[in-house]
Amino acid sequence: MDLQVLGYDAPQIMLIHDNQLNADVIDDLLALFEKRQYRFVSLDTAENNPAYRIPETFITAYGPMWGYRWARELHVKVNGSLEQEPPAWVVDSTK
């Protein structure tokens, strides 16, 4: 969605709560992201991306979904059929 609306992938912020479950799996989780070639940036870098300065005036029935809010504010028509399906490794991990 970011590519359709912004022309690039905006940095995302992942919140991980401080608890034993997350402590037990954090190494595996980070290894998975590295294997998939995710790039890590600081919170400050992510928050300073221009995408996050777009006014927040649109909330969908499903909550404050960034891509749809950005599209509405920037008057970009989004073609939902272009949204990617989750990769097989994501689907497989839920089985």
Kindly report, residue by residue over 36-90, the tens digit of the pLDDT.
898 889 999 999 999 888 887 766 665 667 777 788 888 888 877 776 777 787 7
pLDDT, position 87: 78
Q: How many domains does the chain have?
A: 1
pLDDT, position 95: 72
pLDDT, position 24: 96
Q: What string of DSSP letters covers the chain? A: -HHHHTSS----------SHHHHHHHHHHHHHHHHTT-----HHHHHTSGGGGS-----BTTB--HHHHHHHHHT----GGGSPPPPHHHHHHT-
What is the extent of the structural domain holding 57?
2-93
| pTM for the model | 0.57
Higher pLDDT, residue 84 or 6: 6
